[in-house]
Amino acid sequence: MSLPDWARAFGAPLFAATIRATPQDFQVTEELGFEFTGDGEHDYLWIEKTGANTEWVSRQLARFADVPAKDVGYAGLKDRHAITRQWFSVPRWHAPQWYGLEVEGVKLLDVQRHNKKLRRGAHKVNRFYIVLRGDGLHTHAEAIERRVQAIREQGVPNYFGEQRFGRDGNNVSLADAWASGKRLPRHKRSLAISTARSFMFNDYLDTRVQAGTWNTILPGDKANLDGTGSVFDVDNVDEEIERRCSAMDIHPTGELAGDGSTGTNDAWITALGKARVEPGTRSLRLNVTSLSCNIVEDAVELSFALGRGAFATSVLRELATASATGETSV
């Protein structure tokens, strides 16, 4: 199925472009939010990978170290069709000699020691370098610079990216099947639940973007402290709340549907209730930090940083219609 063209904050895309013309055109570098202990039971490997997905690399590391694949840790899934740098943790049970590692598309950059396994979501930010290519892009330079400045000052709507919904939106059909009572393997059930919640969140965010309130805290909203999972109720919006929201210190949130929620798909809501899924929250606004833009003839070079759980496509769709292969998740 085709996905909705959820509303954009700053108007129509300014240009059409190609993304990922080469792996060098899409680079992601992970930053963890903690310091290594320097000793402990886990080796932390700083890996650069090209043309390989994170789960496949983790299995290769497990095989090399002779440990179960489930004991290899990583903070998040990174793009296959890109050059990405991220940390992996591997138990030191057999003291592997890591600099003998030879895996196609994988380069070992550093080895550290730590006392705990690397858990999902443990990274602080991902830093992106992305090149958009197309004929005559320099002719749009002034408009692009204005749009980039608006994104720098206001952020972008924090949509879940298209890849959350699978190729051609196939995960949406999976969510429908799950909601209709079809029995699914555990991993597909989790995927169906995630898809349903993400789709309804995007629907809600779309209504806020259309109303011009995606970056404004309204009475009754829950506010999210920037860069954290901390949220608090806002019964009344006073000058201090408005000031903090304008300063990107706090953001309005939307619900990730669960038991007792309302939403745009009654069947999904009923199924989430039966599964006793706990409702959650997600910021409606994505703070795009360290954003820079360089326009050279037929290319637009972008650098920026996003917090965990964010999608680079949320930034790119406010600038361009980009045709690509592969994923753009973080």
| Catalytic machinery residues | 79
Give me the CATH number covering residue 265: 3.30.2340.10
Q: In sequence order, what DSSP letters do the residues of 264-285 get, joined into one string?
A: S-HHHHHHHHHTTPPPEEEESE
Q: Tell whether 118 is covered by a domain.
A: no
Q: For the chain, how many structural domains are there in total? A: 1
Tokens of 257: 């549907």
Q: Tell whether 139 is covered by a domain.
A: no
Q: In sequence order, what DSSP letters do the residues of 79-121 get, joined into one string?
A: -SSSEEEEEEEEE-TT---GGG--BTTEEEEEEEEESSPPPTT
Q: Tell whether 193 is covered by a domain.
A: yes
Q: Tell whether 202 is covered by a domain.
A: yes
> For residue 256, what are the domain limits?
156-286
- Residue of 276, 261, 257, 253 lying closest to 200 (CA atoms): 257
- pLDDT of 272: 97
Q: Tell whether 115 is covered by a domain.
A: no
Residues in the chain, pLDDT under 70: 324-330
Q: Tell whether 292 is covered by a domain.
A: no
Q: Tell whether 305 is covered by a domain.
A: no
- pLDDT of 228: 87
List, for residues 22-61, the tens digit of each pLDDT value: 999 999 999 998 999 999 999 999 999 999 999 999 999 9
Q: Tell whether 88 is covered by a domain.
A: no
| Overall pTM > 0.75 | yes
- Residue of 121, 99, 102 lying closest to 110 (CA atoms): 99
Residues 306 and 127: their CA atoms lie apart, in Å, by 7
Tokens of 180: 């209709």
- pLDDT of 189: 96
Instruction: Give, to the nearest 10 degrees, the angle between helix 170-179 and helix 186-211.
Output: 110
